[in-house]
Amino acid sequence: MSDLVRQAQAGDSDAFATLYHAHVGRVHAVCLRLAGDAHAAADLTQDVFVRAWEALPTFRGESALGSWLHRLAVNVFLGNRRTTGRREKRVFVLAEPAVMERAQEGGGGPGLGMDLEAAIAGLPERARLVFVLHDVEGYQHAEIAEMAGIATGTSKAQLFRARRLLREALQR
């Protein structure tokens, strides 16, 4: 465990600020793709780091801090989702690329990358959740099912649904 983490655990907010700047891009990326909306992602990212500050004393360094933050972001998103009881029935439309944030790292060409980000944001909520967690973030169906409170069959079906919808969107 780094000295910076220990300092933040002891209450040093400047140390925590340094950790924030080092990890915010990765955390925000998962928040953005899960929320599918830039404003919601900003709020969610704030919630994640506030929760991280509160929970940091329990961090034992068994995993990398980035992995811990990443898992926390997913849990905060799912917790907020349950608490607010939002059940969006999103009509699948291709979201405007302008609502997506500038990527820190390029890859796959700006055109295709922005189209895919917008297409992911336009997925129905549950399909987007499973797709982001499985295909983008690398979680297994059993983990997704446990975290999201769904059956593994549902996770699998929603993943294939998401892939089909994305394929159709990108072919337009």
Partner 1 sequence: MTCPGLRARFDDYVAGRLSDIEARALEAHLEGCAECEAFLESQAWPIDAVRSLPRAVAPREDLWPAIGSRLSPRESAHRRRVAVPRWALAAAAVLLVAVSSGVTAVLIRRSAVPSVVQPSGSLEAQYAAASEELTAALEKARARLAPETFASIQRSLGIIDAALDESRRALARDPVNEGLQLLVAAAWRQKVDLLRRATGLGAES
Q: Which residues bind partner 1 (CB under 8 A)?
A: 10-11, 13, 16-17, 20-21, 24-26, 28-29, 32, 38, 41-42, 45-46, 49-50, 53-55, 57-58, 79, 82-83, 85, 101-108, 112-113, 116-117, 124, 135-136, 149, 151-154, 156-157, 160-161, 163-167, 170
Is residue 92 a contact partner of residue 123, using CB atoms and an 8 Å limit?
yes
Q: What are phi and psi of 46, to 5 degrees?
A: -60, -50
Compute the CA torsion angle 162, 37, 30, 15 (nearest 10 deg): 180
Question: Closest CB to partner 1 among 2 and 169?
Answer: 169
Residue 2 or 41 with smaller CB distance to partner 1: 41
Task: Report the Cα 67 to chain-centroid distance in Å.
Answer: 12
- Smallest distance from the beta carbon of 12 to partner 1, in angstroms? 9
- In the complex, minimum distance from the CB of residue 170 to partner 1, in angstroms, rounded to a whole number: 6
Nearer to partner 1, 97 or 124 (CB): 124
What residues contact 151, with CB distance under 8 A and at least 6 apart?
145
CB of 139 to partner 1, least distance (A): 14
162 backbone dihedrals φ, ψ, rounded to 5°: -60, -45
